Chains A and B, each alone.
Chain A
Amino acid sequence: MQVLATEAMATRFELVLAANDEAGGDETRLRAAGEAALAIVEECEREWSAFRADSFLAHVNREAARRAVPLSEDQFELFAACDDVWRASDGAFDPSVAPLLGAFDRRGGELDVARARERVGWKSVELDRERRTLRFTREGVALDLGAIAKGHALELAAIELRAAGVANALLHGGTSSVLALGGPPDTDAWRVALEGGDGAPVVELRDAALSVSAQHGRTLADGSGHVLDPRAKISTPNKALVAVVHRSARLAEAWSTAILVQREPSGAARELDVAIGSGPRFARAWRFTRPRSNSSFARPSTVPA
């Protein structure tokens, strides 16, 4: 077993790699495979970090109102996923909240916040799926991919691990986005508890991803929660914790944010495996949108159905 980690996107990414014959069974090769995956995570940090002036995302935010920015295949897939979830969630997921996040985070005055609100809206983002370019149809638009980029990085890292013959691994970004390859050495699935303490559900993951969204993870400088409702253009008042299991780590992450904003899964979100917890430590009430339909969420025995 190898545990490797790196700092990226203002959080910690960690990989737990279980040895298997295909990966050569030796720790040196396993470590090399893990490092190649972490290098991918670091590449994603350089591309998508909202905290770096030299990221590709910063380049997009500077250039896309002036010209159509060409995208690589991976970059295009990420923006296409943003576009898809924005449509399917009726705008509850919308990476164009960046100006408003910025205004709240610098404790902007009324005018500042009002101006930022005007700049929010994915409808001003034009993704040309044929030419594989992205452009903004107006000045002032800016994107923050904080609600999808960690999952994207995990997905690309997993591809790297598979290519190196690693079949069993658990990857996470800041503990809120998790991706499982296979299972640990002695059991079928990786078991991940949604919260500390008794009563929290345990998610069993095998070749699947989990993402958790809640307001309590981070607070902006003005005291509001960091998950914004792009439609109401306020910090979402929902105090619940939402967990989504999906084959895709980036879609799990985007949907967990979207459902937190929606409050109740609606539209396409009803097809997902979702757990919603509420209460001070989320121990008192959990709801499962598809109870017994999937073994991913193990219902805690202390919680009434």
Chain B
Amino acid sequence: MTPVDRRNLLVHGASTAAAFALAPEILRAASLERTNAPIDVAVIGCGRQGRAILGELAKIEGVRVAGVVDVLDSRLKSGQRRVQGAEGFASAKELLDKLKNVSAVFVATPSHTHKDVALECLDAGKAVYCEAPLATTLDDARVLARAARKSGKPFATGMYGRSNPIYGLARSFFRSGSIRDVATLRAQYHKKNSWRTPGSNPDEEAALNWALDPKLSLGLVGEFGAQQFDVFHWFLGAYPTAVRGFGSVQLHKDGRVVPDTVVCELTFPDDRRLLWEATLANSFESQYELFCGSMGAIKLAWTAGWLFKEADAPTQGWEVYANRQQFHDEQGITLIADATKLAAQNKLKEGIGLPNPPLYYALADFLKAVTENGTVACSADEGMRAAAVAILANQAIQLGASVAIDPAVFKSE
């Protein structure tokens, strides 16, 4: 690419930033089209994720949570405390039989149950939002992706990066060559936590701790890796061809076999490598994705993002508006959605960090697709691909070896 081409691309990137505005306005809460009557939705699964979904749905105008489902009564009650007037059910079937007006269902059950619950909702003619990973086996993921396509209803996999305004802005910079030639890719999930949940009796405790059961769970790579791998799939427009993995129990030596610390190396086309690591033994720097190129690096941390430029990278006009943050010896330009507009209003500092959690944008995007018959941010097929990579990465971790990824796993037909 010549310097002139590059400048044009960056100018294009900047104007993309200038034009970038989440519709509806980024600082306002989302509301569905006023011409539409409020839509009834339901949430299946009232654990931590289900409750977070309920909390974010309550912010969106034009949405009524008509029903919530959980097999555990304490969790069901906890879900009902989150919203006003939601009827409680012990199973998806009861809800679907009774609440015929529900248009869309949010599935936040344990990952290994996603397929059955989501299929039930699709069979009942509902639009479905399913948390990641889409499924925990290749067969389940494929069956669900096929059913979602056949249903003709909107089906979204909850991949937050694809709806996140900061990630969208970062991707436009990335795709327009702002860090030039990609050399390394890195991501991590760090959170000091045992991953155990207390229950009131042994059966309940076993059910709540499904994530520590190796027969049911993909471990850290399923619960967090799939979400982060999808960011790289989306940015690169490519999928890995092989994965190498290692795992061990470093801190929580309580008899578990699901590792509390894992490292994976994913090989992408052009011999690009993504190093991903996750641990439940340490919280340092939490969760992020990092793209390093010959002219700079982009670091994304879910509610914020930064561009770090190489010293020889050209300076662009839009940088006069930019906010900067110091990270030890590095200075990052803060990536702010709608930056130029905020700068014109002298409100640039107010735009640092998302005004809502990433989950909110994923839900709002899905509801927009439901009410306006639009496309979802992350399809079932894309969800299937991220799940497939996580499933094979988990195999690699269990084997402590490299596993080739057959491109056929990325096709649902």
Of the listed stretches A54-62, A114-122, A280-288, chain B binds A54-62
The reply to whether the CB of B83 lies closer than 8 angstroms to some CB of chain A is: yes
**Contact mask B11-27 → A, CB, 8 Å, 1/0?**
00000000000000001
Of the listed stretches B33-41, B189-197, B240-248, chain A binds B189-197
A132 vs B27: C-alpha distance when bound (angstroms): 24
The reply to whether the CB of A135 lies closer than 8 angstroms to some CB of chain B is: no
Q: Write out the residue numbers on chain B whose beta carbons fall within 8 Å of the beta carbon of A163.
A: 74, 200
The reply to whether the CB of A21 lies closer than 8 angstroms to some CB of chain B is: no
Q: Count B-side interface residues using an 8 Å CB cutoff.
A: 31
Q: Are the C-beta atoms of A32 and B196 separated by less than 8 Å?
A: yes
Q: Are the C-beta atoms of B29 and A52 separated by less than 8 Å?
A: no
Q: Which of A48-76 contact B (CB under 8 A)?
A: 52-54, 56, 58-59, 62-63, 67, 70, 72-74
Q: Are the C-beta atoms of A53 and B196 separated by less than 8 Å?
A: no
* Cross-interface CB contact of A62 among B29, B197, B352, cutoff 8 Å: B29
Q: Write out the residue numbers on chain A whose beta carbons fall within 8 Å of the beta carbon of B61.
A: 67
Q: Write out the residue numbers on chain B whose beta carbons fall within 8 Å of the beta carbon of A35.
A: 193-194, 196
Q: Write out the residue numbers on chain A whose beta carbons fall within 8 Å of the beta carbon of B194.
A: 28, 31-32, 35
Tell me what chain A mostly uses at the interface: helix, strand, loop, or mixed: helix
Q: Write out the residue numbers on chain B whose beta carbons fall within 8 Å of the beta carbon of A28.
A: 194, 196, 254
* Cross-interface CB contact of A73 among B27, B81, B357, cutoff 8 Å: B81
Which size bracket describes the interface of A in this complex? 20 to 34
Q: Write out the residue numbers on chain A whose beta carbons fall within 8 Å of the beta carbon of B356.
A: 54, 59
Q: Are the C-beta atoms of B81 and A53 separated by less than 8 Å?
A: no
Q: Write out the residue numbers on chain B whose beta carbons fall within 8 Å of the beta carbon of A164.
A: 198
A165 vs B201: C-alpha distance when bound (angstroms): 11
Q: Write out the residue numbers on chain B whose beta carbons fall within 8 Å of the beta carbon of A46.
A: 357
* Cross-interface CB contact of A72 among B55, B353, B357, cutoff 8 Å: B55
Q: Are the C-beta atoms of A74 and B197 separated by less than 8 Å?
A: no
Known: A59-B59, A62-B29, A67-B61. A36 touches B198 (CB 8 A): yes
Q: Write out the residue numbers on chain A whose beta carbons fall within 8 Å of the beta carbon of B55.
A: 47, 56, 72
Task: List the A residue with the shortest CB-CB distance to B58.
Answer: A70
The reply to whether the CB of B113 lies closer than 8 angstroms to some CB of chain A is: no
Q: Are the C-beta atoms of B254 and A72 separated by less than 8 Å?
A: no
Q: Which of A20-51 contact B (CB under 8 A)?
A: 28-29, 31-33, 35-36, 39, 43, 46-47
Instruction: Name 26 A/B residue pairs within 8 A (Cβ), A-sorted.
Output: A28-B196, A29-B196, A32-B194, A32-B198, A35-B193, A35-B196, A39-B48, A47-B55, A52-B353, A53-B352, A53-B353, A53-B355, A54-B354, A54-B356, A54-B357, A54-B360, A59-B355, A59-B356, A63-B29, A63-B59, A67-B61, A70-B84, A72-B58, A72-B83, A163-B200, A165-B200
Q: Please give 6 more A-B residue pairs, beta carbons under 8 A apart, in addition to A32-B198, A36-B198, A54-B357.
A: A29-B198, A36-B197, A43-B51, A54-B360, A63-B59, A72-B82
Binding site for A on B (CB under 8 A): 27-29, 48, 51, 54-55, 58-59, 61, 74, 81-84, 193-194, 196-198, 200, 254, 303, 350, 352-357, 360
